[in-house]
Amino acid sequence: MCTSDLLCVTNRTLCREDFPVRIEKIAACHPAGIILREKDLEPAAYEELAKEVMEICDRHGVRCILHSFYDAAVNLQAEALHMPLHLLRELSPEQRSRFPVLGASCHSREDAMEAQALGCTYITAGHVFETDCKKGLPGRGLAFLREVCAAAGIPVYGIGGITAENAASVREAGAAGICLMSSLMTAENVAERMKAMEEPNEIR
């Protein structure tokens, strides 16, 4: 059973090496999951990439969470899917119920409550801090995160600008865990970066 509270979110355009090699290194560190967020791909290309990433994750016993591409998730018999809320709304109850693990990206307390009502088993909430991924947009802050965590009856993962220096404050705000994207795509040493982000007491 994985004791990490880190969700790794991919962005292959930031990757400093062959993308599958980077995924292998991340999976070898056993995060709580890897969210394959490559929304710019055409559906067929995403499905091909997802198949490869799922195989890597399977070898390491790590959950692979597909992102946005419902049809690819069904075709590959994925157990986990993450959707932007506007796309999640378009799925029928039957479609949503296909996935034992269902997540959504939320940006407010209301979003979180809607995602839960739509059957999500977890959500991401952000962006918490200022981040290069959202240049020019201030972070929503820890008060926002506390509000979402208090309202949600499902695990909340903070996302956006989270570093080793502020990770503890995200957990203290009530988050079940944290999401990492840019830092893991660009880190020279993936294992060291992930270790720096773990809680001092690794078993949650």
b/e 62-80 (16+ beta carbons within 10 angstroms → b): bbbbbbbbbebbeeeebbb
CA angle 61, 65, 68 (to 5 degrees): 165
Catalytic site residue 127?
A: yes
Q: Considering the candidates 30, 60, 67, 127, report the single residue annotated as catalytic.
A: 127
Which DSSP helix (H) or strand (E) runs through 196? helix 190-197
Q: Which residues pair with 156 in a beta bridge?
A: 123
Task: Please give the positions annotated as active site.
Answer: 127
